[in-house]
Amino acid sequence: MLEQSTEVYSKIVGKEGYNMELKEFLSKHMDISSRETTRLKKSGGIFVNGEEQNVRVKLRKGDLVKVVFNMEKNIFEPEEIEVEVLYEDEDVMAVYKNPYQVVHTTKKHKSGTIANGIAYMYQKRGINYKIRFINRLDRDTSGILLVGKNSFGQMFLSKQMIEKTIKKKYYAIVENVVEKDEFTIDLPIGRESEDEVKRKVFDGGQPSVTHVKVAKRFKDASLVEIDLETGRTHQIRVHMSHIGHPLIGDPLYGNKSEIIDRQALHSYYIKFNRTRTYEEVELSTHLPDDMKRLVEYLEGK
């Protein structure tokens, strides 16, 4: 009987894994990274047909390969904060982040975060797993957050992020009418000094690519759909401001607004492959209420 502090992932060897070393099978057919394999070896968490095995052993068709992950403990204080779960499987979940919510505790925000809410949800389920955020959103940005429930889930989705196979789309409401229907901004972004909070476009920055498509035009503003090819800090806000279309309500890169008191930015869509089965998962959400009100106001103008 496995303890509650463990998670099991099993796979039967098919003809494609015949005579393959266990280490290679873990990498190619179970997406276990070399770092995770090393960790599993140390913890005695790799089994073939119920017996702990050396990763150099050769596999046969029909062998049952099983890995047992030790679940690290949660470090966040549980708080009764409602968290909307959009999707969940054995290894990952997707949750909805409201505007103004902080993702995890910091020196300035010691409580009231999504992490505290997830810790409470876990507590009600009788578990105490480490909470592993895979993507991040600014405090004032709303939308979809991915969370790893174990090291494998985090590793699997982080790998997709690095390989750019996870697809993310945002809605932004920007100042002024965007003339082109579709275009790409390919300009480097960074900070010229470590002390600066604000990013800017400059030659010494990191490569940054933003794809923009107009969803709706208003009298003096536009609703745009944004597809990020890279994921730099403040990338959308910096790029759109640089081309003369700062996000409405963005005091750092544009101007404050009387209609919305945050930057009008929402991560509304995400697509990724789930662990273990590799099935494609697509999630989308509607505009939050404050951005809906802003659209209604702009339509009225």
pLDDT digits (tens, 9 = 90+) for 247-287: 999 999 999 999 999 999 999 999 999 998 999 999 999 99
6-70 maps to which CATH number? 3.10.290.10
CB-count exposure of residue 151 (10 Å: 0-12, 13-18, 19+) = buried
Neighbouring C-alpha atoms within 13 Å toward the C-beta of 59: 27
CA 199 – CA 208 distance, rounded (Å): 12
84-163 and 167-269+281-300 share one CATH topology? yes
Pick the CATH number of 167-269+281-300 from 3.30.70.1450, 3.30.2350.10, 3.40.50.300, 3.40.50.720: 3.30.2350.10
Catalytic residues: 138
pLDDT of residue 236: 98
Collect the ranges in the chain with pLDDT lower than 70: 1-5
Phi (first) and psi of residue 290, to 5 degrees = -70, -35
CA 36 – CA 152 distance, rounded (Å): 8
- pTM, full prediction: 0.86
pLDDT of residue 119: 96
pLDDT of residue 136: 87
Query: What's the token pair of residue 127?
Result: 């578990």
pLDDT of residue 260: 98
pLDDT of residue 3: 42
Nearest one of 301, 192, 191, 211 to 248, comparing CA atoms: 301
84-163 fold: Pseudouridine synthase (3.30.2350)
